[in-house]
Homo-oligomer: A and B are copies of this chain.
Amino acid sequence: MNAFRCAGLTLGSLPPGPRAMITDVPGVRVGHYTLIEDVKGSAIRTGVTAIVPPGDPYAEPLAAGIFVLHGHGKATGLWQIQDLGELETPILLTNTLAVFSCAEALLTWTLKRHPQARSVNPVVLECNDGWLSTIEFRPLQEKHALLALDAASEEVAEGCVGAGTGMIAFGYKSGIGTASRIVDPYTVGALALPNMGRREDFVPPSPLALSPFGGEAGSEGMGGSLIVVLATDAPLLPAQLARLCRRGLLGAARTGAPADTGSGDFFLAFSTTLRLPRDAKSVAVEIIPDRSRLMGELYRAAAEATQEAIYSALLAATPLTGREGRSPPIFRPKNR
């Protein structure tokens, strides 16, 4: 269960899956590599998170779509998703200056499995952890990303792990969060990397609305960013997945995410079941029409799962002292 559900909280009208995690979508796995070390005066507080889809994404690319709320980000691989709607590698999340080491890892990972490949489109998304971590040392290497890929499993560690290690959101320590929703017979899962917002932007989960906040405000005035990855086993077309992303945005907005001027707010969604085998001449698909009520429920699921995943990232976060002795407060309402 995710930290949100473990705290006894609920949100929205749709039920979560059994784990309340993105891995409730069959076959989806998540792995982390966390890098915490202090060398040569640095405070490295960073990592990589891998989201691994089921099957062979290169041989059978997955339908995928994106939405970018504010484009101040360094993500790789997005145009091929934007234009062609295909995801052909796992997805890595990391810090802003480690994007390209991680992309190299996805090349290596894919070429190992497909030695004949001449073109690979690695997808890496990022948030900036430079407030807590000596990001400019660029300590993360390809090997770390490969370890995150190897570590992928169905149980998702939340909080200050992997790419979540150095995150802060709404002035609190943040990290990795995840959630899921069931829209029978389908599941929609979300994994969030929230790194945005000032204290006064925060809209806490509703039964906690009137609780006094603990701790002191974190990094004032940082714009920050937000990454959300949505997975579903509904056979959605790329354009529908892009629309699913926009509902993730609605969920993020309900937590108070401000999309400030420096933010890179990227949403990516993929379907594990609508796949486009590389050499297929035709692919039989059962489209869910956009007007259908089911589609509306899937939209609702994306919004709820995203909102919950962001809250779960905050609730799972644990104390961490980083660069220049900074130690952002933990979000724990007093009545718990």
Contacts and interface: CB of A to CB of B under 8 A. Distances in A.
Contacts of A138: 107
One complex includes copies of this chain to the number of 4
A114 to B, nearest CB: 10
A80 B71 contact: yes
Contact of A281 (B70, B223, B256, B289): B289
Contacts of A104: 100-101
A40 interface: no
Given A130-B119, A250-B253, A280-B289, A84 B72 contact: yes
A147 interface: no
A83 B107 contact: no
Contact of A261 (B68, B120, B283, B290): B290
Given A82-B71, A96-B118, A128-B119, A281 B294 contact: yes
Interface of A: 13, 68-80, 82-86, 96-97, 99-101, 103-104, 107, 111, 115, 117-122, 128, 130, 135-136, 138, 200, 203, 206, 209, 221, 223, 237-239, 243, 246-247, 249-254, 256-262, 264, 266, 276-296, 299-300, 303
Given A277-B289, A282-B288, 11 more contacts: A73-B80, A74-B122, A75-B79, A97-B120, A119-B128, A253-B253, A258-B299, A260-B299, A261-B292, A281-B289, A284-B284
